[in-house]
A and B are shown apart, each in its own frame.
Chain A
């Protein structure tokens, strides 16, 4: 079974969980043997920007010891064997240029999405 997971709601729970919960979940799925790829759209395309740094966060003097490193988390998912796509128009609208992105991510236009979806047995929009 081949699954495409779509992440659109960006930066949810990244402070409390120290991860994007859905990127994390899909890494767990991949480790459990599921053939799963990722599509980032809307503000979640920003996960691909290299060098995001949330390490200065502290609340009441208590620092977040292990801040989210979403670019590295997505790169690790690619290293696990998953393909990671992003909607190119969303990146352009947000001013996220491809030269700032991590390696090996694949642009897909909005008009190409139906063709992409057809390659999968299931599409999960988280």
Chain B
């Protein structure tokens, strides 16, 4: 079993990077590895508990027909399949600035020092960059 630490900065729905990260986390967990996620800046919004799906008036679909999971739903699923091998820290200062303290069960509050500690014990570290084409 290897340990992977991932740093995320993008808020949900802003780019494809969150989806990419979710796919990497999912694959690593399914292969039996341990994953640490450091959510910094807007990424603390990924796990906000009050996210809610909506109907799609363009397609004429209701909420059930739309069947569109929010990012917190995916995060919940990742915690569920992880069997304790997923650790997720939301940067506390980022949380406070964004009023993003109400999150799902699983993530915990932390800071840059926690990321450094994870880096020291990880086999690989992946920073998802902020560059936009």
Binding site for B on A (CB under 8 A): 1, 3, 8-9, 12-13, 16-17, 21-22, 25, 28-29, 32-34, 122, 124-126
Contacts of B40 in A (CB 8 A): 21, 25
Instruction: Please determine whether B130 and A126 come into contact, CB atoms closer than 8 angstroms.
Output: yes
Tell me if B100 counts as interface (CB < 8 A to partner A).
no
Beyond A17-B97, A32-B113, is A9–B119 a contact (Cβ under 8 Å)?
no
Residue-wise interface mask of B (7-37) relative to A, using a CB-CB cutoff of 8 A (1 in contact, 0 not): 1010000000000000000000000000000
By size class, the interface of chain B is 10 to 19
In angstroms, Cα B127 to Cα A29, docked, is: 14
Given A13-B41, A32-B112: 9 more A-B contacts, CB < 8 Å: A8-B131, A16-B97, A21-B9, A21-B41, A29-B112, A32-B113, A122-B119, A124-B125, A126-B7
In angstroms, Cα B125 to Cα A25, docked, is: 16
In angstroms, Cα B9 to Cα A8, docked, is: 14
Most A-side CB within 10 Å, residue of B115, B116, B125: B116
CB distance from A13 to the nearest CB of B (A): 7
Tell me if B129 counts as interface (CB < 8 A to partner A).
yes
